[in-house]
Structure 1
Amino acid sequence: MTRRRLRSTLATGLALALAVLVTGCAGIPQSGAPQIGQVVPTDEDPEIEFLAQGPEKDATQEQILRGFIDAASSPRDDYATAREYLSPSIQSTWNPDASALIDEANQRAFTSVDALTMQVSLVPVASVDGSGEYVEFSDLQPTTRVFALVQVDGQWRINSAPDGVVLDEQKFSEVFNPYALSFFDPSWTHLVPDLRWFPSRASTGTQIVNALLDGPSEWLVGAVTSAFPEGTQLTRNAVPIVSDVAQVDLNSEAFEADDLTLQRMQAQLSASLSGVSTINSVSIAVSGNVQDIPVLAIPGPRVDPRPLAMTEDGFGFLSGGAVERLPGISPQIEALSATAAVVNPSHSLAAVRTPDGVYAVRQSQTSGLRVDGRAGLIAPSLDRFGFIWSVPEGEPGSLLAIRADGSQSPVMSSWPDASSIQSIQVSRDGTRLLALVRTAGEPRLLVAGIARAADNTPVSLGDPLVLAVGDGAGLSATWIDEITVASLTSSSDGRGEVVTQVIGGESTRLATLDDAVQIVGGNTTKQLRALSSAGDVRVLRTSLWQTTASGVAFLATQLGSPS
């Protein structure tokens, strides 16, 4: 039940954030905001459902400890109720925002260490650090937290407590929400989400803005960029919300920003704050001077919702039982005896795998150009800058980025322990690479930031995040949207397991399916498609995979659709 609640919370928050990313920040007006004003006092924290209870008179040590942990589930008034359980010496120094440990409530065990010390043993399933980064644990191992107690006016109080809070999964889903901080790709074309989790309270907007100004998560450093000039901070540690307007007052470093930079700053703030229910627009001031900033349109890399596939009738979009071929591209792909393909947003370039290598197929040409003739190549990827990514299955470190003219550049990979690689796919914004590899006999799903040269040539991959993946042999991995991925593995009996993972959030195991060999994403999980070895295309309807097309040789990947 609690995992379902957490998924519901995540889905709702991400729907708001991704809607802004896709529609170019249209969800929050960006100009004509009122002047910086006074904070409107309120006794209500938004979206908080859990109300904590203070300590009871003559409570035992265990009752005090249990009550403190429960009360720390409520961030109302800076965790005022939880602080009632603390002795005066630590009431103001205990830092609940340092971390959150999410555990299985029925696994908690309270024991006395000595007359003035207690410990709680628990089994964490995930954690959130001080910057809001969520980590899901695949190996559930028990841990302990130790608390010292003291008598204050004849009542037990906690005199030493670890910073941070402990919440069970249900309370976490009620108190914390996901917020997609937004950074730019290196070309300043797309917004890239960096998911964080914060408790919903009056200061949530402040936490989000501070996290945005602090920069991206470590694994994204070098792959994304921010419009805020170095050293930019809030003039005071608060983002007032007046009449649904978040008023962001930045220090003098922001004076370095020109008009375009201010527009980009506004776009980042608007997208990052879009998940806060009490905020409908954003106003930027620099040292108290409100800026009039026009809206900056940011395109979203959505793909055509129809499947793109190679069939008996040719290569193109499956539409109403017919194949809608791509002018200039489809004839070349069909002539190559293709086994895999990926097409750019304008349908002017495709990367195609054939029995004798990987080809670049350009709409402006009449035949494809072989750009990689190495043996054992996996299905290639393509990025929005026109680079074809190619690697042999048995040589996972031999990753190449290849231009359409055939010139090659090696890319330093970040999976030195991998013995083989089954799938690679660059995100539609061109900032991250998803890779399904095999290490120590087990599949591993990785996502890493892409570092590029000034001309956008890929140079290296950053340290990867390890994502959830099923058991068995790795077959395929795909992007579902800008923050969600999916992987397909197969057991020895042919059963396919599909696992979806929100990067920075929770993973979900979908219904199993027989004899699947490939998965390809669309714009949502509902558009995730699986292909069987018999050529049947399946989509997940409620809890069953249903066949929607047949006679398909392979499903192609799209990077976007023509504007």
Structure 2
Amino acid sequence: MPTSGDIKSVDPSQRADSQVKVYAVAPRAGAEPSEIVDGFLEAMTSDDLQFATARKYLTGPAAKTWDPAAETTVLTDGPTKLPDRANDRGGLDGFTFKLGGTQVAVVDKQHAYRPHTGSYQGNIHLVLQNTPDGKEWRIDSPPKGLLLGQSDFGRNYQSVNKYYFASLPASGSTGSSRQDWLVADPVYVRQRIDPESRMDTVTQTVASLLSGPTNWLKPVVGSRFPTGTALKEGTKSLAFDDRNALKVPLNAKASNIGQEQCRKMAAQLLFTLRDVTVSKVAQVELERSDGSQLCVLSADQAEEFSPDRASGTATSAYFIDAKGHLERLPGSTGSAAGAEDSTESDSTSESVPGPLGAGSKTLGAVAVARDEQRAAAVTNAGSLLYVASITSEGQLDGPLVTSQGRTPENRLSAPSWDGLGDLWVADRDLARPRLLRFTGGSGAPQAVDVSGLNGARIESLRMSADGVRIALLVSEGGRTTLKVGRVERQGSGDGATVTVSELTDAAPQMAEVTAMSWAGRSRLVVVGKETGGVQQVRYMQTDGSVSVATIPGANRVTAVAAADDSRLPLVALSQGDGIVRLPPGANWKTVVDKGASPVYPG
């Protein structure tokens, strides 16, 4: 216990400990309007089932119609209140308060988190209501849903990934026969029993998966669960047995599906539950409404549908050396499975075979295909894009595209490969800015329409392994921000039409973003700074929320790379320190004194 120091008041909404449980307190007899509002706002933060105590602060009709699950408005701190007698609509028997705060996000009824920065303003109205103890102040016009400060939101909710199958053309952009891979769809669920549904966290997550993908991702993914499939009526808790296997009882909508479809349904569940449980889920068994078995799928069998299969099992990082040639850091951790055993001995780089490793061209930026057979490189001047083998010797073919921009900053961005084998690059020519895609990494470029740019320019890009999302650094008005867009495909092969839709803010807290990279299925690693702040490297979820994982600070980072496998180290370019690496649980260490464009495959 401290024996000295000043006494400081503490805002009751500032709770960082996720193990803290808040118990709501019912209104006391004779409470003034201000006390009623405070009690109601505090009761919103509790785990009280059905928010029964919070409803005691409401009038009878309001208690019946108030829907806490309608949405959750997240503020930087708990909401503030000010009396607003000028707008009272109940005369002497009415009392109005203005609610205010700085809004961060809204979590909708689908549990989807959407950044929504700016000021929050609302009203809350009270009336005198007859009770057995006489007239008492009660709220007859509560806010929509819940109002929570960030600390209470973080204490009550956790981010989990639901998984759905990518909706891709019949043969894929490159004629690939494999179409069944899963895409992460991040949502937020209660960390304990949900007050409204009374479901535990596992059951909430399963129910959310069955309800379908969020509206933003829905156009490019699909569920293998038949429409209307839900948990068997009355299911509030799903428990793992001593083998860490889970039985999931479904309603009659799923009773007549075939075995192959059932396996894919089970795969969606297995990958979804991995974010909820501490130990690995060994097996999922789906049951019909009568209790009979539909199918069983083990964790090993589900790997057939892994979101990371598009990236193979690459463990190597790459960079451009001081001479402008492509080099490889072999086995940055020895192997993905043995990532925890990383040693310093794997830091020696080697030139890749072929014209990019020892050719006459001086490279400025590079992207290695996810199968590590080819690489795409932009010349140091930024005007030419080449693709060449990195496994065998050969001559460099002609460039795929030439930018007419007047300076390197106004020419080609660093390229990026998606999980379908298509190559993407942005031409930053001020006279003709374009986002370009090369089917299979060759042939003529296809211009990709990006809705929502509104005159802003793409500075850099990174494609996700699943091929249905793209991360963009976009500049406008001297400011560079991070956006994530949805990649929509119609048709296949060279005749496919591809567009990018619904750009969303992926780092709304940052005033300026310098660099970014995909760092898993629904996470990005971002380099940037907040208004008036210093540079920081942090993880962000694709929905714009901040990941709980932290990253040690690094000096003047201008580029960063992460692998789909979170056990592989981050690699970055630090001005003054060169190419640096951050193994899990360690600090940044220099790998190469001079270099550029650190990347993992993709």
Shorter-chain TM-score: what band? 0.7 to 0.9
Q: How does 1:293-442 map to 2 (within 5 A)?
A: 293-295=296-298, 296-298=301-303, 299=306, 301=308, 307-312=317-322, 315-317=327-329, 320-326=346-352, 328=353, 332=357, 334-354=359-379, 355=381, 356-362=383-389, 363=391, 366-369=394-397, 370-375=399-404, 376-394=411-429, 398-402=434-438, 403-442=440-479
Counterpart amino acid of residue 143 in structure 1: Q
Displacement after TM superposition at 1:446 (Å): 0.7
Aligned length in residues: 519
1:550 aligns with 2:592: yes
Once superposed, what is the RMSD of the aligned Cα atoms?
3.8
Question: 1:269 matched to which residue of 2?
Answer: 269
1:211 aligns with 2:250: no
Counting aligned pairs with the same residue, the percent is: 22
2:295 aligned partner:
292
Q: Which residue type is aligned with residue 168 of structure 1? A: G
Distance 1:267 1:308, change over 3 A: same
| Further displaced range: 84-93 or 244-253 | 244-253
Unpaired runs of at least 5, structure 2: 1-9, 168-177, 331-344, 405-410
Given that 1:305 and 1:527 are in contact with CA atoms closer than 8 Å, whether structure 2 keeps it comes out as no
User: Equivalent of 1:109, from 81, 85, 96?
Assistant: 81
Q: Secondary structure at the match of 2:49?
A: helix
1:76 to 26, 48, 54: 48
In structure 2, the CA distance between the partners of 1:48 and 1:437, relative to structure 1 (3 Å rule), is: same
* 1:174 aligns to 2:210 (yes or no): no
**Residue in 1 aligned with 2:131?**
152
User: Residue 241 of structure 1 aligns to a residue in which SS?
Assistant: coil
Cα displacement (A) at 1:334: 4.7
TM-score normalised by the chain length of structure 2: 0.75
Q: Is the 8 A contact 1:418 1:440 kept in 2?
A: no
Aligned partner (choices 146, 152, 168) of residue 165 of structure 1: 146
My pick for the range that moved more, 305-314 or 113-122, is: 305-314
Q: Shift of the alpha carbon at 1:235?
A: 4.7
3-state secondary structure, aligned to 1:450: strand
In 2, the alpha carbon distance for the partners of 1:387 and 1:193 equals: 20
Cα distance in 2 between the residues matched to 1:73 and 1:476: 36
Shift of 1:368: 3.5
Are 2:114 and 1:135 equivalent residues in the alignment?
A: yes
Distance in 2 between residues matched to 1:257 and 1:117, nearest whole Å? 57
Output one character per residue of 1:444-497: Cα deviation in whole Å (capped at 9) or x when no partner.
Answer: 211011112453756111211112268787543211222222344599x9x855
Look up the equivalent residue of 1:337 and give its one-letter code. Answer: T
Matching of residue 194 in structure 1 with residue 185 in structure 2: yes
Q: After superposing the two structures, state which structure 1 stretch, 331-340 or 377-386, moved more.
A: 331-340
Question: Contact 2:206/2:269 (CA < 8 Å) preserved in 1?
Answer: yes
Instruction: Name the SS of the counterpart of 1:227 in structure 2.
Output: coil
Inter-CA distance 443–404: structure 2 relative to 1 (3 Å threshold): closer
Does residue 538 in structure 1 map to residue 580 in structure 2?
Answer: yes
Q: Point out where structure 1 has 5 or more consecutive residues left out of the alignment.
A: 10-46
In structure 2, C-alpha distance between the alignment counterparts of 1:466 and 1:322, rounded to whole Å: 38
Distance 1:236 1:335, change over 3 A: farther
Mapped partners of 2:15, 2:482: distance in 1: 22
Task: Summarize deviations over 1:379-399 as a string: whole Å, max 9, x none.
Answer: 111112111112211368522
Which residue identity lines up with residue 173 of structure 1 in the other structure? G
Q: Describe the SS at the equivalent of 1:86.
A: coil
User: Which one of the candidate residues 96, 105, 116 is aligned to 1:126?
Assistant: 105
**Cα deviation, residue 105, structure 1:** 4.2
AA in 1 matched with 2:61 = S
Q: TM-score, length-normalised on structure 1? A: 0.80
Answer 1 or 2: higher relative contact order, Cα 8 Å, separation at least 6: 1
1:148 aligned counterpart, secondary structure: strand
Cα displacement (A) at 1:69: 1.6
Decide which moves more: 457-466 or 283-292: 283-292
| 2:485 is aligned with 1:482 | no
**Structure 1: how far apart are the matches of 2:479 and 2:206?**
40
Single out whichever of 128-137 and 374-383 deviates more from structure 2.
Answer: 128-137
Aligned-partner residue type, residue 108 of structure 2: D
Offset at residue 542 of structure 1 (A)? 12
